[in-house]
């Protein structure tokens, strides 16, 4: 009986284990499919009727983010028909003067969502739906989620026209495929789109980073790479000597797809130490919530100071980006046991073209002059703790995990160099050190008259030396703002309203032959916050293109003939307002 019960118990446990395994497979399958690149390659058609030319690849390095899709060239033209890549329904539509501009999201029955951005217009029924909502909300900016049965589309339907709206810097189609359940973007090239690429990636230069304690104070070393033959790059000398045992490597590389001159991002990067894989990056999928970890992935110093993009092939302590297939020892090259090591790097494009470089790292003991001693006036900010700083009429509060590594914080202040600066100039650490989270900054200005307090704000001075407005509020005698950058901060006052200049309209002009009226609007300091147009006393839709400083209204077909009056108001971020009135005929 005892033996029977043991056998029966064993059978039950096996059955339960199989059941648990089945449940785990169902739960993990979507993630396994994404990471394993098992995607349908014949489900989606091309979103354009022209041959596909990629001008921007998935996970390409961009300012503060990884590129979440691929960019298709539209032959330097706008208004090309954009096609639904598969059956589905419009699940979301967005209109914004920045970012994606005009964008359509189509959900498909296979669990994916396709995204089409920077469009000029949508198909007529959707365009009318969007315009009605804009008039109802009295806003150009709008985000809508139609019912799943409201706008059904078939594969190959024209869903709109390509364009250059939003933050696009030239006519193209930004295209994405996302997992619908998580909204995580996936490399669209996994889905079988016909893209040619016979060119090998280009490896421009190598970076070597001393790590350990020295990582905070030692300068990286940069070495140009020379092309020896197709896919093979070399240094001017085979051996690089270093005086620390912990080393990080970085690579500046790009890929030209066939027929394009754009410097596209590579698909994979691998680092080997003595033929053992140490680091492996693959442009597969990521979450939007982690995209700012780009600043931990790149050599941020080289980006700010040299305008150069380097992929760092090791991980900083607070780099939580998920697109690393492998990081052995966090990608750090260890020379503590063997002082001479063979290192190689491979850069691969999506079609499997591989470029390689190899070199030797050799450790030698540092001289006394090369040994660093921690100086004064440095404040230790651990990356995993909340940190605060107060001095000279400035207060700073950093949430935990605001930095990618420990920061040896530096601060100084200098008197204002111009009369229009109303505080000390606060030099908050170094602008070539990235900050991940928003932090609070409070600055006490010099005496500001009561009537100008509402016009006062904190500025961040960017790397070009231009002040950038930060939304600011008064807390007692201090102005408070938030920032995600280190650098120079100070207080300014803006009392000058924005400007409005008509481009194709003047007082009394007959606009019958024009489909729109167009203006340029500008603000020199705090920036444009809002704009309102009223035609004959009624709100009208004004479309804003900030990159070109354009504001325009497309005349409605039902506008009656005769005389009309436009009342246009533009306001900046501290509520300086400019009003413009013009009469015209149509």
Q: What are phi and psi of 236, to 5 degrees?
A: -70, -25
Residue 35 neighbours by CB under 8 Å, 6+ apart? 284, 285
Count of alpha carbons within 13 angstroms of residue 47, beta-carbon side: 30
Give me the long-range contacts of 316-319 (CB less than 8 A, separation at least 24): 316/404, 316/405, 317/383, 317/384, 317/404, 317/405, 317/406, 318/383, 318/384, 318/401, 318/403, 318/404, 318/405, 318/436, 319/293, 319/404
DSSP secondary structure letters along 400-458: TT-SSS-EEE-EEEE--SSTTB-SPEEEES-TTS---S-EEEEE-PSP--GGGGGGEEE
Q: What are phi and psi of 345, to 5 degrees?
A: -130, 135
Measure Cα distances from 209 to 290, 312, 404 in Å.
Answer: 24, 9, 16
Measure Cα distances from 553 to 130, 516, 545 in Å.
Answer: 15, 5, 12
In this prediction the pTM is: 0.90
Is the pLDDT at 123 greater than 50, yes or no?
A: yes
CATH class of the domain defined by 499-585: mainly beta
Mean pLDDT (whole number) for 103-123: 98
Give me the long-range contacts of 222-231 (CB less than 8 A, separation at least 24): 222/302, 225/357, 227/202, 227/203, 230/200, 231/200, 231/353, 231/354, 231/355, 231/356
In 151-212 the beta strands, taken as DSSP E runs, fall at 152-153, 158-161, 172-179, 184-186, 202-210
pLDDT tens for 458-486 read 999 988 889 999 999 999 999 999 999 99
Compute the distance between CA of residue 421 and CA of residue 246 in angstroms, rounded to an integer. Answer: 45
In eight-state DSSP terms, residue 230 is: T
pLDDT tens for 218-235 read 789 999 999 999 999 999
pLDDT tens for 81-90 read 999 999 999 9
Mean pLDDT (whole number) for 153-176: 97
> Taking all residues of the chain, what is their mean pLDDT, rounded to a whole number?
92
Cα 328 to the chain's mean position, in Å? 27
Compute the distance between CA of residue 286 and CA of residue 84 in angstroms, rounded to an integer. Answer: 24
Report the 10 Å Cβ neighbour count for 463.
13
The answer to which of 119-128, 368-377, 439-448 has the lowest mean pLDDT is: 368-377
Query: 41 in helix, strand or coil?
Result: coil
Check residue 261 and give its pLDDT. Answer: 82
Check residue 339 and give its pLDDT. Answer: 84
Is the C-alpha dihedral spanning 460, 466, 469, 474 positive or negative? positive
Check residue 373 and give its pLDDT. Answer: 55
pLDDT tens for 242-295 read 999 999 999 999 998 877 788 999 999 999 999 999 999 999 999 999 999 999
Residue 16's pLDDT band (cuts 50, 70, 90): low
- The first and second tokens of residue 527, run together, are 């920036």
Compute the distance between CA of residue 485 and CA of residue 441 in angstroms, rounded to an integer. Answer: 11
Is the pLDDT at 152 greater than 60, yes or no?
A: yes
Nearest alpha-carbon partner for 296 in 367, 248, 338: 248
Maximal C-alpha separation, the chain: 105
DSSP secondary structure letters along 297-312: HB-HHHHHHH----EE
Check residue 60 and give its pLDDT. Answer: 97
In eight-state DSSP terms, residue 69 is: S
Top-confidence residue, 30 or 243 = 243
Right CATH for 379-493 from 3.30.360.10, 3.40.50.1100, 2.60.220.30, 3.50.50.60? 2.60.220.30
Query: 579 in helix, strand or coil?
Result: strand
**Would you say 64 and 295 are in contact if contact means Cβ atoms under 8 Å apart?**
yes
pLDDT tens for 309-364 read 999 999 999 999 999 999 999 999 999 988 899 999 999 999 999 999 999 999 98
Check residue 417 and give its pLDDT. Answer: 86
Check residue 371 and give its pLDDT. Answer: 52
**Would you say 224 and 306 are in contact if contact means Cβ atoms under 8 Å apart?**
no
Q: Any idea of the CA torsion for 294, 299, 302, 303, to the nearest 10 degrees? A: 0
Report the 10 Å Cβ neighbour count for 429.
21
Check residue 36 and give its pLDDT. Answer: 47
Residue 151 neighbours by CB under 8 Å, 6+ apart? 89, 90, 125, 126, 129
Check residue 338 and give its pLDDT. Answer: 84
Report the 10 Å Cβ neighbour count for 581.
11
Residue 6's pLDDT band (cuts 50, 70, 90): very low
The answer to which of 25-39, 188-202, 424-438 has the lowest mean pLDDT is: 25-39
Strands 276-282 and 268-273: antiparallel
Name the CATH architecture for the domain at 54-191: Distorted Sandwich (2.70)
Check residue 8 and give its pLDDT. Answer: 29
């Amino acid at each position: 009986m005892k033996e029977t019960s043991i056998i029966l118990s064993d059978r039950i446990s096996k059955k339960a284990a199989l059941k648990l395994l089945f449940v785990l497979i169902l739960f993990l399958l979507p993630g396994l499919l994404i990471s394993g690149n098992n995607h349908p390659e014949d489900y989606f058609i091309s979103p354009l009727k022209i041959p596909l030319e990629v001008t921007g690849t998935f996970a390409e390095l961009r300012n503060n983010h990884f590129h979440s899709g691929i960019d298709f060239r539209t032959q330097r033209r706008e208004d090309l028909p954009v096609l639904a890549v598969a059956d589905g329904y419009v699940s979301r539509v967005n209109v914004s003067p920045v970012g994606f501009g005009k964008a359509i999201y189509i959900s498909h029955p296979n669990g994916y969502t396709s995204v089409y951005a920077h469009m000029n217009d949508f198909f007529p029924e959707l365009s009318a739906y969007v315009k009605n909502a804009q008039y109802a909300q009295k806003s150009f900016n709008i985000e809508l989620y139609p019912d799943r049965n409201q706008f059904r589309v078939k594969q190959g339907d024209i869903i709109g026209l390509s364009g250059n709206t939003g933050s696009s810097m030239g006519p193209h189609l930004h295209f994405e495929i996302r997992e619908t359940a998580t909204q995580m973007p996936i490399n669209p090239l996994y889905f079988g789109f016909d893209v040619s690429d016979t060119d090998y990636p280009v490896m421009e230069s190598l970076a070597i980073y001393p790590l350990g304690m020295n990582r905070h104070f030692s300068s990286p070393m940069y070495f140009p790479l020379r092309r020896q033959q197709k896919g093979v790059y070399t240094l001017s000398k085979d051996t690089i000597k270093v005086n620390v045992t912990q080393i990080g490597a970085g690579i500046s590389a790009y890929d030209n797809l066939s027929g394009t001159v754009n410097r596209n991002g590579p698909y994979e990067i691998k680092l080997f130490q003595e033929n053992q894989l140490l680091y492996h990056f693959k442009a597969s999928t990521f979450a939007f919530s982690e995209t700012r970890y780009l600043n931990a992935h790149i050599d941020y110093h080289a980006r700010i100071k040299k305008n150069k993009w380097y992929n760092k092939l090791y991980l900083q302590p607070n780099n939580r980006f998920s697109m690393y297939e492998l990081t052995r020892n966090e990608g750090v090259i260890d020379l503590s046991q063997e002082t001479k090591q063979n290192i190689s790097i491979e850069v691969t494009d999506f079609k499997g073209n591989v470029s390689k470089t190899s070199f030797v790292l050799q450790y030698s003991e540092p001289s006394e002059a090369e040994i660093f001693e921690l100086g004064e006036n440095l404040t230790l900010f651990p990356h995993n703790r909340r940190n605060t700083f107060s001095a000279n009429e400035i207060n700073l509060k950093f949430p935990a995990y605001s930095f990618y590594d420990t920061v040896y914080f530096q601060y100084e202040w200098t008197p204002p160099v111009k009369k229009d600066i109303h505080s000390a100039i606060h030099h908050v650490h170094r602008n070539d050190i990235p900050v991940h989270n928003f932090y609070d900054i409070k600055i006490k200005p010099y005496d500001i008259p009561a009537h100008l307090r509402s016009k006062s704000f904190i500025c961040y001075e960017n790397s070009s030396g231009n002040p950038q407005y930060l939304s600011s509020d008064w807390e007692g005698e201090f102005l408070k703002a938030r920032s995600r950058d280190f650098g120079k901060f100070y207080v300014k006052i803006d009392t000058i309203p924005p400007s409005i200049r008509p481009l194709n309209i003047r007082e009394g002009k007959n606009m019958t032959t024009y489909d729109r009226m167009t203006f340029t609007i500008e603000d020199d300091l705090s920036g444009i916050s809002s704009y309102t147009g009223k035609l004959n006393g009624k709100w009208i839709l004004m479309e804003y293109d900030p990159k070109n400083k354009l504001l325009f209204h497309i005349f409605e077909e039902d506008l009656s003939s005769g005389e009309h009056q436009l009342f246009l108001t533009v306001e900046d971020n501290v509520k300086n307002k400019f009003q413009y009135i013009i009469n015209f005929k149509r």
